[in-house]
Structure 1
Amino acid sequence: MFHFLLLFHLLFFAPSLASIAIPTDALPGCSGKCGNVSIPYPFGTSSGCYLSHGFYVSCNTTYNPPKLFLSTTDIEVAEISQDGVTIYTPIARDCFSGLGLGTNINSISTDVTGLPYTFSYSRNMFTALGCDTVALNYQSSFSFSSGCLSYCSDKSSIVNGSCAGIGCCQTSIPKGLKSIYTILRSVKNHSTTWTFSPCSYAFLVDRETFVFNLTDLDDFYTKNNGVVPVVMDWAIGSRSCEDGSGSPDFSCGDNSHCVNSTNGRGYRCSCNTGYRGNPYLTRGCQDINECEDPATNPCAAICENTAGGYICSCPRGFSGDGRRSGSGCIKDAKRFPLFQVVLGCGLGLLFLLITGSWLIWGLKKRRQMRLQEKFFEQNGGLLLQQRIASSEGAAETARIFTAEELERATDNYSESRVVGRGGYGIVYRGILRDNRVVAIKKSRVIDESQLEQFINEVVILSQVIHRNVVRILGCCLETQVPLLVYEYVPNGNLHHHVHGQGRASSLSWETRLRIAAETAGALAYLHSATARPIFHRDVKSANILLDENHMAKVSDFGASRLIPMDRMQITTLVQGTLGYLDPEYFQTGQLTEKSDVYSFGVVLAELLTGLLPISQARRQEEQNLAIYFLVHMREDRLFEILEPRVRNEGNREQLLTVAELTRRCLRLRGNERPTMTEVAAELERTRRQREHPWLENDHGESQSLLREPATVYYTSPITGDEDLDAHIMLSLEMTRG
């Protein structure tokens, strides 16, 4: 019967495969070449040859050979493929002035805003070369993207092929980057390294084309003609596949399907399984003949090529699985051929008649179910179920929600349900069927390399039960991007209460002190009291939510990392929020618990002063609140910058205690900062003194226990001028736009 249906389909519905001519990659009558670069559609060099204006490329024939450029820019194109566009971008250079090596280029930029391109976060690496090098990237004036520091004292310490910060440093870039502005600096003007590393270089480069070599320190700029290859992802339009299907700008051709961009908005097209070619052209995706190559023939017996696939069958008189990976063909027992033919044909015709009315609906429903199953598997659904089953107690706390119930809970992700937007997703207010209110975060796409980390995070955080940590209730993995479900916290975040319009004095000093103590206690719990330590990595006032009673709830673990029990630090892509970012972490890439301590110190400074972490209203070297605070502490002018309500409501000893604690949290060197456990203990002691002032006159054992953490803080030396000056210099590099 199956063969009958197949024959019916081929005779009446399938086009003649032999009659289909394989088209070129460009539209008919359009140029498919510029010099050595091929130009496939949707790109083109003249009107009518490209899909939209963003895919226009100009061919400059005054060069020999001709050169191709993006749109009307001066950005040269090296290659165009269905996976991306490779362009050439400039190299920043800073050399020792005494050698006369040419003009320094301390800042470079590339901007494709308004065009359908985005810097590929998976293919490119930001790179800095040299032994006295500080290189920083910005998306805009004060939006930090990535940075690299490369130092070395002699040539013998440099290792070929290694970019760990000695002679060469590399770091990743974030998703969605459409413009990049690079600043290159030398800390000591190459005065101590000019004999073996006279220059510093900074550039974004395709990781597959660059391998560091010791000779790169000599004159990398000249050897590469001042440019390096960079890969750009590209996408069509600004809508997703689900929004664009059937619309005039939905541009996928025959035998192809739509794929959402993983690096910003828009979509791409891809040939269906079993087809190969240009998916943007009519009949651009051609059937692959899986049977014609003996080396890749999937069948062990008879192979029959079909449209978009193949059929493996057994010879006459045999039955079974004819695939190479199957169970093989087994000789049939005695059969009744005539009866089988009549019965098979009759049942086949009956099947076609009965199912004709609902076949299309069934195919659509099956496609939807297969898509959900595909996303469930891709997003780690099976792995998550395994983790839940093997984790004691997790089965009761972590739940896997269905896509339908979360769509219902959010009115199909209505804009009216949006309660927050951040770097790791959009948060919606949802109402479940049992009338429970939850927060549903539609996360950014997770790379396959991050999948196990994501699964561990869901399982372990589902078991983190702390009154001051937002509880994760579960997730949904049936959609293209994972959905996380959290408890709903109704009263906004600390940033809005401290900095929001008309709220400058909305929180009393007593409330601020309690919020600080609760937050510190939650972070101390994550660092030291969970099954595996959790470093938050993005502690800031916007990630401290407040309930109706102003109780603190630490939230947004999108950047968090679970730390192996036998390791005190891990190397990661530097990630965080400018103004809160630990300068030592920024400098080394080594994430420790002290990185959260530094960020929390900035939050304490906000609570004391009511000032923003970054403000252009302050002079340049004090635009960073941490520096502004430390400078005033050093000059004994703390009370000049305290918020008026804080200054009026807090007693002097208490304010000095919290200010000193803040200063210690903001130490440049992580090993000189207190632990979060020590910070939480000191804040709790200060709170108790406010609530029970008679404890200050108690000379018994309780007093000595309460005061013990304070002794640790006050016997430490004051931050020296040299450390603070270094802190200021690094802060300037981190915030310079």
Structure 2
Amino acid sequence: MKSSECYAGKWFEIECRNTSTYTYYSPTPYLKWIGLEVKSIDLQLGTVNINNPIYRSNCGSKDSRPVNQSLKGSPFVYSQEHNIFVAAGCNSIAILKLNGSEVSGCVSICDENYKVGDIGKMKLRNRDCNGKSCCDSSLPLYLTEYSTVIKGLKENKKSTECSYAMVVQQYRNYYRSDSYYDPRSYYIAVDGVVKDLDVVPAVLEWEIVNNLNLTLPADHFSYCYDTNITSSRYKRSGQRCYCRTGYFFNYGNPYVEGGCTGVSISFGSIILLLILWRVLKATKQTIVEKYRKRMFKRNGGLLLQQRLSSGEVNVDKVKLFSLKELEKVTDNFNTNRVVGKGGQATVYKGMLINGIIIAVKKFKVQGKIEEFINEFVILSQINHRNVVKLLGSCLETKIPLLVYEFIPNGNLFEYLHQQSEDFPMTWDIRLRIATEVAGALFYLHSAATHPIYHKDIKSTNILLDEKYRAKVADFGTSRMISSDVTHLTTVVQGTFGYLDPEYFQTSQFTEKSDVYSFGVVLVELLTGKKPITLTSSEEAKSLASYFIMCVEQDCVFDIIDEKVMKEGEKNHIMEIVNLANRCLELNGKRRPTMKEVTLELESIRKLTGKSNVQEGHNELVRSEDYQSWDDYSTILEIRSAFDLKSRTPSLKDIHICPI
């Protein structure tokens, strides 16, 4: 296309290239200024399907350079909704980086039956990449450029097996039941085995960005609206248009004047269509109601109602919401209501009629029904101020929904690693958050009706409420443990960087595994560093192992956050260092219990509080907003069972090494 009238700015220019030596092959369309092959364009959705290169590592003559894709400066981004980051390999870590910082990644391991070459023969289509030989992870929003890195799982050891990493399109499978379509699972849009792949399909989203200074057509059949696709800095970074629907059949290009074609129909036809539409609507509503009632029964709704009425479920107010009610409060699960998105579920914000703000957790794929039931049963038996409160559930969908209290201030990871000047992460706040999380875990391990192991403690699963109090969340992988049961798992679950090495080796999860994960969070609070970092040689480095090394080499103060060093007293900081070091013991039996951890943190907080009073400092938040564990009657019983003077001796003579 030579004429500039054919496209809205240079970024939208399509160039046809002869990519084959055979004359009977048609030229291939490319986005000229980006250099990516175009497969299709959807004007209504604002998407472009492209062929995206993949990255190979340790594949001999087929090795490829690290993929460094860039859409920077263009009106395009890699779609978070339609793409996924996938890696295939054996005992390797695949990392997606943006400007040198990791933004996504996953870990894949192999079992004992693995043979060299099995990875290359793998077909990704319709495969559940849950960490065995392949893994996947979601993309961040506003992704305009990325690079990929594949490293060995063990430190200082490179992966020797041929491995693959890619940003690839994902499709939804839909399940039909009584003419009602329901999303059932996802499949990766890749045909063939991975060793034969050079490119994979991916999806770009686009908008008419504001800096193009274009006047979009004021057409009767087209409608343009503000969008925020390409920039997190602006609420309205551009616009999109689509052809209206109504009593006309509209199609065409909404971005040019007269581009949307309306085909009118006769008045009699309109009346007939209206009658048919009302009949179809009534029929569909009947079918949907029957489907929802069937799903309600299948998901145990009748039994749950009995338990709620009998008081068997130990929670003040757990409600069974209707799907219609949740659709109304979330604007039909509008993407504008999304407040959190992970690999397994999406969380939407809504407001009930009584003004209570809620968070609705919607699982993405079929097969997570077990996690839903598990999370509901566990949370219905928990009543603790530092654990996110379950308000109810909806059982009228293929995959049930959970409804929680809405926690407004995000998670600890964001607060810690993206600090703002308005709410600085002070030493007192860090210490308080650590104490609150420890107290919640101690409650789960000891004070609940049955011991509960969280199994995925990490800073992103620690939410912060309106007063920045900690709330432990995401119990999807948790388990209630009987006193006579040893918890063995066939698949290791958890998050790399927080995962207990002993659990990884034995597949036996104990309360001390939660202690290890909490130790990593404690080190995050001390250092302000992420659980996994890349060294200058692009080697994946565990914060836990780095912290232990610094303790052993008497250089631990070199990595403590500057704000902590400035605000905290050295002896108090060292007590926390010693406590974190004990939590990260490789031998789980040597780690303290969460009861011991809680009491130690309470003791340190009291000492810190006395020091602050003597020095005349004022805390950011009033002390009455954060009552200590001493306010609970159970603390008296705990203190009588545990003598603080008998705790494990702390490390001594730690020196600051010159930087």
TM-score class, shorter-chain normalisation, is: 0.5 to 0.7
Q: Find the partner of 2:313 among 387, 390, 393.
A: 393
Cα 1:363–1:443 change in 2 (3 A) is farther
Q: 1:25-174 maps to which residues of 2 (within 5 A)? A: 58=16, 60=18, 62-64=20-22, 65-66=25-26, 68=28, 71-72=31-32, 74-75=35-36, 87=51, 89-94=53-58, 105=64, 107-109=66-68, 118=79, 125-128=86-89, 135-138=94-97, 141-148=100-107, 169-174=133-138
Q: 1:274-423 maps to which residues of 2 (within 5 A)? A: 363=279, 366=282, 369=285, 373=289, 376=292, 382-383=298-299, 385-386=301-302, 388-389=304-305, 391=307, 392-393=312-313, 397-402=317-322, 421=340, 423=342
Cα 1:235–1:447 change in 2 (3 A) is farther
Matched, 1:430 2:396: no
Aligned partners of 2:540, 2:366: CA distance in 1, in Å? Answer: 41
C-alpha displacement at 1:383, in angstroms?
A: 1.1
Q: Contact (CA 8 Å) 1:442, 1:482: kept in 2 or not?
A: no
Cα 1:602–1:376 change in 2 (3 A) is farther
Cα 1:648–1:229 change in 2 (3 A) is closer
C-alpha displacement at 1:471, in angstroms?
A: 0.6
Cα 1:450–1:411 change in 2 (3 A) is closer
Matched, 1:544 2:463: yes
Q: Contact (CA 8 Å) 2:52, 2:202: kept in 1 or not?
A: no
Aligned partners of 1:235, 1:66: CA distance in 2, in Å? Answer: 26
Aligned partners of 2:604, 2:399: CA distance in 1, in Å? Answer: 44
Aligned partners of 1:126, 1:673: CA distance in 2, in Å? Answer: 34
Q: Find the partner of 1:449 among 342, 350, 367.
A: 367
Residue identity opposite 1:128 in structure 2: G
Cα 1:689–1:400 change in 2 (3 A) is same
Q: Contact (CA 8 Å) 2:393, 2:400: kept in 1 or not?
A: yes
Identity %: 25
- C-alpha distance after superposition, 1:569-627 (max 9, x if no partner): 45367657xxx644859988979566654543343235445x35389999889998656
Aligned partners of 2:313, 2:456: CA distance in 1, in Å? Answer: 27
Matched, 1:710 2:642: no
- C-alpha distance after superposition, 1:508-558 (max 9, x if no partner): 3xx65443222112134445646584536252177332465x653223x2x
The aligned counterpart of 1:200 is: 162
C-alpha displacement at 1:388, in angstroms?
A: 1.8
- C-alpha distance after superposition, 1:452-475 (max 9, x if no partner): 422442343233222321211014
Aligned partners of 1:192, 1:644: CA distance in 2, in Å? Answer: 33
Q: Find the partner of 1:613 among 527, 530, 533.
A: 530
Residue identity opposite 2:96 in structure 1: N
Aligned partners of 2:362, 2:502: CA distance in 1, in Å? Answer: 24
Secondary structure of the 1:603 match is helix
Uncovered stretches (5+) of structure 1, i.e. residues with no partner: 1-46, 96-100, 213-219, 239-245, 251-265, 270-278, 282-354, 694-700, 719-737
Secondary structure of the 2:301 match is helix
Secondary structure of the 1:561 match is coil
Q: Contact (CA 8 Å) 1:94, 1:201: kept in 2 or not?
A: yes
Aligned partners of 2:295, 2:140: CA distance in 1, in Å? Answer: 20
Uncovered stretches (5+) of structure 2, i.e. residues with no partner: 169-187, 209-219, 225-239, 244-249, 253-270, 612-637, 655-659
Bigger shift: residues 538-547 or 467-476: 538-547
Aligned partners of 1:702, 1:532: CA distance in 2, in Å? Answer: 20
The aligned counterpart of 1:698 is: none
Matched, 1:535 2:454: yes
- C-alpha distance after superposition, 1:354-383 (max 9, x if no partner): x99996895587478469648957986851
Secondary structure of the 1:448 match is coil
Aligned partners of 2:206, 2:297: CA distance in 1, in Å? Answer: 30
Cα 1:361–1:409 change in 2 (3 A) is same
Matched, 1:439 2:357: yes
Aligned partners of 1:394, 1:411: CA distance in 2, in Å? Answer: 31
The aligned counterpart of 1:184 is: 150
C-alpha displacement at 1:127, in angstroms?
A: 0.7
Residue identity opposite 1:664 in structure 2: R
Residue identity opposite 1:147 in structure 2: C
The aligned counterpart of 1:306 is: none
- C-alpha distance after superposition, 1:640-660 (max 9, x if no partner): 665688668766554323211
- C-alpha distance after superposition, 1:137-159 (max 9, x if no partner): 34664243223466899997997
Q: Contact (CA 8 Å) 1:124, 1:231: kept in 2 or not?
A: no
Cα 1:280–1:665 change in 2 (3 A) is farther
Aligned partners of 2:466, 2:522: CA distance in 1, in Å? Answer: 19
Cα 1:116–1:677 change in 2 (3 A) is same
Compare CA radii of gyration and give the structure with the larger one.
Answer: 1
Matched, 1:504 2:420: no
Q: Contact (CA 8 Å) 1:126, 1:203: kept in 2 or not?
A: yes
TM-score, L = length of structure 2: 0.57
Cα 1:103–1:708 change in 2 (3 A) is farther
Q: Contact (CA 8 Å) 1:605, 1:629: kept in 2 or not?
A: yes
Cα 1:691–1:78 change in 2 (3 A) is closer
Q: Find the partner of 1:600 among 495, 500, 518.
A: 518
Count matched residues.
526
Aligned partners of 1:479, 1:248: CA distance in 2, in Å? Answer: 35
